[in-house]
Amino acid sequence: MAAPSPTTTHHRLLLPASTTHRSAALAPSALRLPIRARTAHGARICAAAAPAASTASPPSSAAVAVEGKPTVLVAEKLGAAGLALLREFANVDCSYGLSPEELRAKISLCDALIVRSGTKVGRDVFEASGGRLRVVGRAGVGIDNVDLAAATEHGCLVVNAPTANTVAAAEHGIALLCGMARNIAQADASLKAGKWARNKYVGVSLVGKTLAILGFGKVGSEVARRAKGLGMHVIAHDPYASADRARAIGVELVSMEEAMTTADFISLHMPLTPATNKMLNDEAFAKMKKGVRIINVARGGVIDEDALVRALDAGIVAQAALDVFTKEPPAADSKLVLHENVTVTPHLGASTVEAQEGVAIEIAEAVTGALKGELAASAVNAPMVPAEVLSELAPFVVLAEKLGRLAVQLVAGGGGIKSVKVTYASARAPDDLDTRLLRAMITKGVIESISDVFVNLVNADFTAKQRGIRISEERILMDGSPETPLDYIQVQIANVESKFPSAISESGEITVEGKVKDGVPHLTKVGAFEVDVSMEGSLILCRQVDQPGMIGSVGSVLGEENVNVSFMSVGRIAPRKRAVMAIGVDEQPSKATLTKIGEIPAIEEFVFLKL
Residues serving a catalytic function are 299, 328, 347
Say how far apart CA 474 and CA 480 lie, in whole Å.
18
Beta bridge mates, 571: 580
Q: Is 324 exposed, middle or buried (0-12, 13-18, 19+ CB in 10 A)?
A: buried
- Taking CB under 6 A as the criterion, which residues in 480-539 touch ligand NAD? none
Is 133 a residue that touches ligand NAD (CB under 6 A)?
Answer: no
Is 172 a residue that touches ligand 3PG (CB under 6 A)?
Answer: no
Indicate which of ligand 3PG, ligand NAD, none lies near residue 358 (CB less than 5 to 8 Å, by partner kind).
Answer: none
Indicate which of ligand NAD, ligand 3PG, none lies near residue 259 (CB less than 5 to 8 Å, by partner kind).
Answer: none
Segment (H or E) for 421? strand 419-426
Is residue 464 within 8 A of residue 471, CB to CB? The reply is yes
- Residue closer to ligand 3PG (CB basis): 121 or 427: 121
Say how far apart CA 190 and CA 188 lie, in whole Å.
5
Dihedral of alpha carbons 435, 438, 444, 446, sign? negative
Q: Residue from 141, 322, 531, 535 that binds ligand NAD (CB under 6 A)?
A: 141
Indicate which of ligand 3PG, ligand NAD, none lies near residue 476 (CB less than 5 to 8 Å, by partner kind).
Answer: none
Cβ 342 to ligand NAD shortest distance, Å: 16
Provide the phi-psi class of 481: left if phi over 0, else alpha when psi is between -120 and 50, else beta: beta
Q: Residue from 34, 82, 137, 140 that binds ligand 3PG (CB under 6 A)?
A: 140
Q: Residue from 264, 304, 323, 362 that binds ligand NAD (CB under 6 A)?
A: 323
Q: Residue from 237, 439, 499, 543 that binds ligand NAD (CB under 6 A)?
A: 237
Is 350 a residue that touches ligand 3PG (CB under 6 A)?
Answer: yes
- The radius of gyration of the chain's CA atoms, rounded to the nearest angstrom, is 31
Is 102 a residue that touches ligand NAD (CB under 6 A)?
Answer: no
Is 356 a residue that touches ligand NAD (CB under 6 A)?
Answer: no
Indicate which of ligand 3PG, ligand NAD, none lies near residue 310 (CB less than 5 to 8 Å, by partner kind).
Answer: none
CA-to-CA separations, 95 to 62, 72, 159, 318, in angstroms, rounded: 9, 10, 20, 42
- Residue closer to ligand 3PG (CB basis): 348 or 389: 348
Q: Is 534 exposed, middle or buried (0-12, 13-18, 19+ CB in 10 A)?
A: middle
Is 325 a residue that touches ligand NAD (CB under 6 A)?
Answer: no
Is 349 a residue that touches ligand NAD (CB under 6 A)?
Answer: yes
- Residue closer to ligand 3PG (CB basis): 165 or 569: 165
Is residue 383 within 8 A of residue 438, CB to CB? The reply is no
Q: 419-426 and 488-493 as β-strands: parallel, antiparallel, unpaired? A: antiparallel
Q: Residue from 7, 95, 117, 152 that binds ligand 3PG (CB under 6 A)?
A: 117
- Residue closer to ligand NAD (CB basis): 106 or 299: 299
Strand segments (E) across 461-564: 470-477, 488-493, 510-517, 520-526, 529-534, 538-545
From residue 151 to residue 190, what is the string marking binding to ligand NAD with x (rule CB under 6 A)?
Answer: --------------xx--x---------------------
Q: Which stretch binds ligand NAD (CB under 6 A): 235-243, 442-450, 518-526, 545-553?
A: 235-243
Q: Which residue is nearest to ligand NAD (CB)?
A: 217
Indicate which of ligand 3PG, ligand NAD, none lies near residue 404 (CB less than 5 to 8 Å, by partner kind).
Answer: none
Say how far apart CA 305 and CA 392 lie, in whole Å.
51
Segment (H or E) for 151? helix 148-153
- Residue closer to ligand 3PG (CB basis): 117 or 593: 117
Is 263 a residue that touches ligand 3PG (CB under 6 A)?
Answer: no
Dihedral of alpha carbons 280, 147, 458, 158, sign? negative
Is 142 a residue that touches ligand 3PG (CB under 6 A)?
Answer: yes
Say how far apart CA 498 and CA 519 lie, in whole Å.
30
Q: Which stretch binds ligand 3PG (CB under 6 A): 10-18, 114-122, 370-378, 513-521?
A: 114-122
Q: Which stretch binds ligand 3PG (CB under 6 A): 60-68, 279-287, 345-353, 373-381?
A: 345-353
What is the DSSP code (8-state) at residue 501?
A: G
Say how far apart CA 281 and CA 304 lie, in whole Å.
5
Among candidate residues 563, 606, 564, the one with its CA nearest the CA of residue 581:
606
Enumerate the H helices of 274-411 as residue ranges: 282-287, 305-313, 335-338, 353-371, 387-409
Cβ 139 to ligand 3PG shortest distance, Å: 6
Residues that bind ligand 3PG (CB under 6 A): 116-118, 139-142, 165, 347, 349-351
Which residues contact ligand NAD by CB under 6 A?
A: 141-142, 165-166, 169, 214-220, 237-241, 269-272, 275-276, 297-299, 323-324, 347, 349-350
